[in-house]
Amino acid sequence: MRTSGTALAAAVALVVAGCGTPSADAPDGASGTGGTGTSAPVAVSTTTPLGSVVQDVVTCNGGTASTLMAPGDDPHTFAPSSAQLAQLTQAELVVAIGLGLEEGLGAAIENARSDGARVLELAPLLDPLPFDGTTGPAEDDHEGEEDEHADDDGHAHDGDDPHVWLDASRMATAAELVGEELATVTGDDGYAGCGTQVAAELRDVHEQVVEILAAVPEERRVLVTDHQSFGYFAQAYDFDLLGVVVPGGSTDAEPSSQELAELVEVVRDAGVPAVFSNTAVSSSLVEAVAAEAGGEVQVVELYVGSVGPEGSGATTYADLMLTDARLIADALG
């Protein structure tokens, strides 16, 4: 195998310090796409893409919502402040992705549930995919079974994939579910109507993403990404997943030098024009793989686990999906 190994070895040494480091610290109060009013929010969301959708549903009906994470926070490594923990018990509804995505919030969400908070975890309700990301739910009944492949921190590298938001059609269904749940917990049916309205808007976003990505020819519809997060995107928008830099579904995993060297050979042999990194984490490993592969391999940053800051063109969930689609189409088309 032709590889110098120097750049890859250096990148591996940096992975623990680099991967999963948030680009911005979350404030103690409402953050990200959340509301900043003084009244208690009717809904508190965990991640910023989810918070953007929930806020659209809530504000459509005149309510207030907040989001725990801020733009640039990595859902896999985010840890809440004490003030943010308090928000979880004050809202009428806590909305999370679930399936182990919000690793640092798991205990807090369960404590809020024990204290009487209503919690809606969306990913298990959105036809979740197994972590190969290419097919529908596994045929065998694995629901409720303990994952034998979870690492020491309890995060499963197998099982169902939580990255459901990278399929806009699934997030349309999520908007409907949020609206229905809010109508139930508040007794206000206006939320259900708003969920339906936001869902229609997101289905239009889905069609726009399909149209943008139509520019990518069939033979170049392959993705190499920083971690295993694009299974839903690949299924929804007709791409193949060729490889990942960081193994498993979490950004805080650590690849071996051998795994990186094997990926370099895959990228080189397939003539991949671009590998995709994540704005919420360090791109050093992705850059090392691209450099080692040689040629004209680009490193393209996508908005994956977080919306972008003001001026990024990805400050809402809808803009995140459209911006990522354009970046992928430009890199591969």
pLDDT of residue 254: 74
- Which architecture does CATH list for 43-208? 3-Layer(aba) Sandwich (3.40)
Residue 133: alpha-carbon gap to chain centroid: 14
pLDDT of residue 158: 56
Q: What is the pTM of this model?
A: 0.82
What does the domain layout of the chain look like in residue ranges?
6-21+210-332, 43-208
Instruction: Please identify every stretch of the chain with a pLDDT value under 50, giving residue numbers as ranges.
Output: 1-37, 133-157
43-208 shares the fold of 6-21+210-332: yes
pLDDT of residue 249: 60
pLDDT of residue 246: 83
Alpha carbon distance, N-terminus to C-terminus of the chain: 29
Spatial separation of the C-alpha atoms in residues 34 and 68, rounded to whole Å: 8
Residues 181, 93: contact at Cβ < 8 Å?
yes
pLDDT of residue 321: 98
As to burial, measured by CB atoms within 10 angstroms (0-12 exposed, 13-18 middle, 19+ buried), residue 208 is middle
24-41 burial, b for 16+ CB within 10 Å, e for fewer? eebeeebbbbbbeeeeeb
pLDDT of residue 250: 65
Residue 11: alpha-carbon gap to chain centroid: 23
pLDDT of residue 320: 98
Residues 279, 52: contact at Cβ < 8 Å?
no
pLDDT of residue 132: 61
HSE-up of residue 281 (Cα within 13 Å, Cβ side): 30
- Domain 6-21+210-332 fold is Rossmann fold (3.40.50)
DSSP string across 136-168: SS-SS--TTPPPTTB-TTS-BSSSB---GGGSH
pLDDT of residue 32: 39
